[in-house]
Chain A
Amino acid sequence: MSKIFLRLFLAGCMTLLLPSSVSAQSEKGEVGRATSIWGDAAASASDLMKAGAASDSSYETRALRLESNWGNFRIVRGAEGLVVGTAGVFRTANVESIVAGSRRAESEARLFRANHRPGSIAVALGAGTFVMGAVAATSSAGSAATPVLMVAGVGGMVWGVRKLNTAYTSLSRAVWWYNRDLVAK
Chain B
Amino acid sequence: MPRILLAFCIGTCVLLGGTGTMEGQEQHGVPEYDARALRVENREGDRVVVRGRDGLVLGKIGGLRGGVDLANVVAPSENAVREARDFSKRARRGNWAMTVGLTAISVWLLTARIHDMDPAVATAVDAAYAGGLVLAVYGAVQLNRANTALGRSIWWYNRDLAR
Contact = CB atoms under 8 A, between A and B. Distances in A.
Interface string A165-185: 110110011011001101110
B42 interface: yes
B41 A172 contact: yes
A172 B162 contact: no
Given A59-B159, A175-B39, A180-B33, A4 B7 contact: yes
Interface in B14-52: 14-16, 19-20, 23, 26-27, 29-30, 33-34, 37, 39-43, 45
Q: Size range of the interface on B?
A: 35 or more
Contacts of B12: 11-12, 15
A179 B41 contact: no
Interface stretch (A66-74, A88-96, A144-152): A66-74
14 contacts: A15-B15, A45-B19, A55-B162, A56-B162, A63-B162, A66-B151, A68-B146, A70-B140, A76-B151, A172-B40, A173-B41, A175-B39, A176-B37, A176-B39
Interface of A: 3-4, 7-12, 14-16, 23, 44-45, 48, 51, 55-56, 59-60, 63, 65-70, 76, 79, 165-166, 168-169, 172-173, 175-176, 179-180, 182-184
Interface of B: 3-4, 7-12, 14-16, 19-20, 23, 26-27, 29-30, 33-34, 37, 39-43, 45, 140, 143-148, 150-152, 154-155, 158-159, 162-163
